[in-house]
């Protein structure tokens, strides 16, 4: 069953008497352990969709389902509780609290819970992210990549089912971006779904599938090479899948790493692609 | 400390946030410091003033004056006097007095070369134990008082009289044995222009008034009631006046003065409150995204409210503590100069004002923090995270 799902979701904004339709009916579902990217030009409604998935905003029409449960129209308190239990957030600007240490930042989501295991969990997460030596460092003593790892650890501390990432590599250089994306891949290996909204084509080297949004409509839903490999393997049978998975993933990763330049150069071509996609959508509607 | 913050995570966040903008926090707390000092030290100042004035007023409140009532023969009899003495008991003193209007001439008789001379019709008072009421400025009050005359200080000055001079009362010459000390409060016994003779110089048998001095103003009040009950049945034989109501109204005047001073102090706290409001509002605007993140990761509105309010209260407590310390120093200075004893600042009633000032300081901070905290808590995370 999909861990998070939208059914014919529409979002409208009222601006100065004008109604702007940011999302025009989106059906979208993510399975546990899936790594999905949502791509699209500015103003295509990516962030709006992410906000709806993250229960930060309510859709004007349609439903959002979390673990099969309709969470549309919940009160602020209920939404906050659901968010805390099920969803982790990672932001482009990291948004760490500058006055708190790395460890305290990771503990933030459970700060008011008086949970005795919280500290161990956060230390464990940071250690796994390779930040075991930097537990007591403040954010301004950490590099961009380290900050984003702290943010990922924070998103995972409550053991969510879904991690929503808004431009997770947006403020990172390419190499650090790769490291962060492989962190996300290892997150999905723990059956946590990751949904990343991004402009960065690099992300597509790591995700299972890419969803394109154009003018509030969902475009093609393209499984990536990696995703196809994983899907094939999944079909081949659950048992003993993991080692193969690892191997395949690594192989794909290596292959993609070599392609880096090509991907970067291909950006202009991509924009062209998207326009075609949008044309096609409009054609479908009429 | 770690344990403490684990218990109070919002305080930890608040403390870290305040240290983030140190100068701004210090300035905001300074407002509270000034406000607390203003209230506490003005309150203590009023209290000290009251203390020093009641000290110099003396025993104003604890005197009771008994005079003949409407239904009497115009005097207080020996029997009534004894009843009054019973009502007063052993803790108070009773001074029966006689008065008469008669002709007094100064510098007349003997060889009184000095003095202005001349004679006037005036009241002279008779009593047997004036030493219970008065002190002598010059000479000595004889005990018991059997001969001679005592005069008030103003009269002595006006008529240029001193110990040993003679005055003539109703034709008979009296030697001045003492000039009384004035300014001993303004109760019934203020001897500014009095002439006091022994009772035996008066022909009448009854007394024209009895002055009772009790231990305190409450005791005076009780004595007055007891005398009224004991002596006045259906007929009003004696009239009893006591000063406890006057003492009370003087006390009330000072209470009002104190309130006024504290009111002035409160204005400075109001200003401090506005400055905290401003600092907190700036802080919520600056930390908008941070608060958005907190809400996104599962902080309820109430949690955010708690963090922001802790910040405001922490500012208030820091400012309040500093203010209390400074006020104690200021209070010591005030007490040193007005009463002459710096350590009188540790009177319990002073702590009332200090506690009041501290409470007002923290309360002001809390109130000023409410709006910014409410604003921060109610910001929609989507809006806050939009950069």
- What residues of A are in contact with residue B378 (Cβ under 8 Å)? none
Do A99 and B16 count as a contact with CB atoms less than 8 A apart?
Answer: yes
CA gap A220, A213 in Å, rounded: 8
CA-based nearest residue in chain A for residue B289: A95
CA gap B99, A134 in Å, rounded: 98
Tally A–B CB contacts below 8 A: 65
CB B262, CB B355: distance < 8 Å:
no
Q: What pLDDT does residue A251 have?
A: 54
Query: By the CB < 8 Å criterion, does A140 face chain B?
Result: no
pLDDT at A80 over 70: yes
Do B301 and A98 count as a contact with CB atoms less than 8 A apart?
Answer: no
pLDDT at B277 over 80: yes
Do A158 and B298 count as a contact with CB atoms less than 8 A apart?
Answer: yes
Average predicted confidence (pLDDT) for chain A:
81
Whole-angstrom distance between the N-terminal and C-terminal Cα of chain A?
33
pLDDT band at A263 (very low <50, low <70, confident <90, very high): very low
CA gap A48, A56 in Å, rounded: 9
Query: By the CB < 8 Å criterion, does B19 face chain A?
Result: yes
- What residues of A are in contact with residue B292 (Cβ under 8 Å)? 95
- What residues of A are in contact with residue B10 (Cβ under 8 Å)? 112
CB B209, CB B66: distance < 8 Å:
yes
- What residues of A are in contact with residue B9 (Cβ under 8 Å)? 111-112
CA-based R_g, chain B, Å = 34
pLDDT band at B84 (very low <50, low <70, confident <90, very high): confident
So what's the ipTM on this one?
0.76
Q: What pLDDT does residue A272 have?
A: 41
- Summarize pLDDT for B314-360 with one digit per residue, the tens: 999 999 999 999 999 988 888 888 878 888 888 888 888 899 899 99
What's the residue count for chain B?
Answer: 387
- Summarize pLDDT for B305-317 with one digit per residue, the tens: 999 999 999 999 9
Within the 63-82 window of chain A, which residues sit less than 8 Å (CB to CB) from chain B? 76-77, 80-81
Query: By the CB < 8 Å criterion, does A108 face chain B?
Result: yes
């Amino acid at each position: 069953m999909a861990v998070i799902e939208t059914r014919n979701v529409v979002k409208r904004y009222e601006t100065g008497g004008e109604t702007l339709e940011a999302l025009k009916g989106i059906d979208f579902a993510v399975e546990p352990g899936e790594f999905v990217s949502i791509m699209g030009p500015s103003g295509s409604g990516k962030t709006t969709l992410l906000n709806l998935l993250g229960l930060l905003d309510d859709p004007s029409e349609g439903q959002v389902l979390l673990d099969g449960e309709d969470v549309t129209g919940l009160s602020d308190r209920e939404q906050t509780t659901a968010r805390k239990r099920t969803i982790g957030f990672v932001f482009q600007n990291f948004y760490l609290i500058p006055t708190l240490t790395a460890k305290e930042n990771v503990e933030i989501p459970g700060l008011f819970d008086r949970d005795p295991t919280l500290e161990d969990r956060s230390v464990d997460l940071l250690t796994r992210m390779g930040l075991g030596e930097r537990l007591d460092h403040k954010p301004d003593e950490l590099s961009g990549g380290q900050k984003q790892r702290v943010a990922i650890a924070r998103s995972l501390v409550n053991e969510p089912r879904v991690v929503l990432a808004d431009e997770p590599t947006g403020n990172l250089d390419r190499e650090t971006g790769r490291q962060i994306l492989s962190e996300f891949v290892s997150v999905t290996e723990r059956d946590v779904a990751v949904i990343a909204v991004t402009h960065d084509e690099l992300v597509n080297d790591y995700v299972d599938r890419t969803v394109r949004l154009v003018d509030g409509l969902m475009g093609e839903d393209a499984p990536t090479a990696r995703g196809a490999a994983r899907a094939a393997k999944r079909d081949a049978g659950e048992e003993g899948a993991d080692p193969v998975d690892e191997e395949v993933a690594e192989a794909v990763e290596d292959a993609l790493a070599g392609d880096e330049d090509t991907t970067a150069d291909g950006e202009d071509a991509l924009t062209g692609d998207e326009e075609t996609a949008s044309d096609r959508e409009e054609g479908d509607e009429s | 400390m770690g344990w403490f913050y684990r218990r109070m995570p919002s305080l930890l966040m608040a403390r870290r946030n305040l240290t983030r903008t140190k100068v701004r926090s210090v300035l905001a707390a300074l407002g509270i410091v000034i406000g607390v000092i203003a209230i506490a030290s003005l309150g203590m100042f009023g209290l000290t003033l009251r203390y020093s004035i009641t000290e110099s007023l003396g025993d104003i409140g604890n005197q009771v004056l008994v005079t003949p009532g409407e239904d009497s023969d115009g005097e207080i009899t020996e029997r009534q006097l004894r009843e009054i003495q019973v009502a007063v008991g052993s803790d108070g003193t009773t001074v029966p007095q006689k008065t008469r209007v008669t002709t007094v001439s100064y510098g007349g008789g003997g060889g009184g070369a000095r003095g202005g001379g001349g004679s006037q019709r005036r009241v002279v008072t008779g009593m047997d134990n004036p030493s219970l009421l008065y002190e002598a400025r010059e000479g000595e009050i004889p005990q018991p008082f059997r001969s001679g005359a005592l005069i008030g200080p103003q009269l002595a000055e006006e008529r240029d009289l001193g110990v040993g001079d003679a005055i003539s009362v109703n034709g008979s010459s009296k030697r001045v044995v003492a000039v009384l000390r004035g300014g001993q409060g303004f109760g019934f016994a203020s001897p500014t222009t009095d002439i006091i003779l022994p009772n035996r110089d008066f022909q009448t048998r009854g007394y024209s008034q009895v002055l009772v001095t009790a231990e305190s103003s409450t005791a005076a009040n009780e004595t007055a009631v007891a005398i009224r009950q004991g002596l006045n049945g259906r007929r009003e034989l004696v009239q009893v006046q006591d000063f406890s109501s006057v003492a009370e109204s003087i006390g009330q005047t000072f209470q009002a003065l104190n309130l006024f001073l504290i009111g002035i102090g409160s204005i400075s706290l109001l200003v401090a409150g506005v400055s905290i409001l401003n600092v907190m509002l700036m802080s919520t605007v600056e930390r908008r995204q941070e608060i958005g993140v907190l809400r996104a990761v599962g902080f309820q509105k109430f949690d955010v409210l708690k963090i922001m309010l802790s910040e405001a209260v922490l500012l208030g407590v820091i400012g309040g503590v500093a203010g209390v310390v400074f006020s104690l120093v200021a209070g010591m200075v005030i007490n040193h100069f007005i009463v002459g004893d710096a350590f009188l600042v540790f009177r319990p009633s002073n702590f009332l004002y200090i506690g009041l000032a501290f409470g007002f300081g923290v309360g002001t901070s809390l109130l000023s923090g409410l709006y910014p905290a409410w604003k921060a808590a109610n910001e929609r995370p989507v809006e806050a995270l939009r950069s």
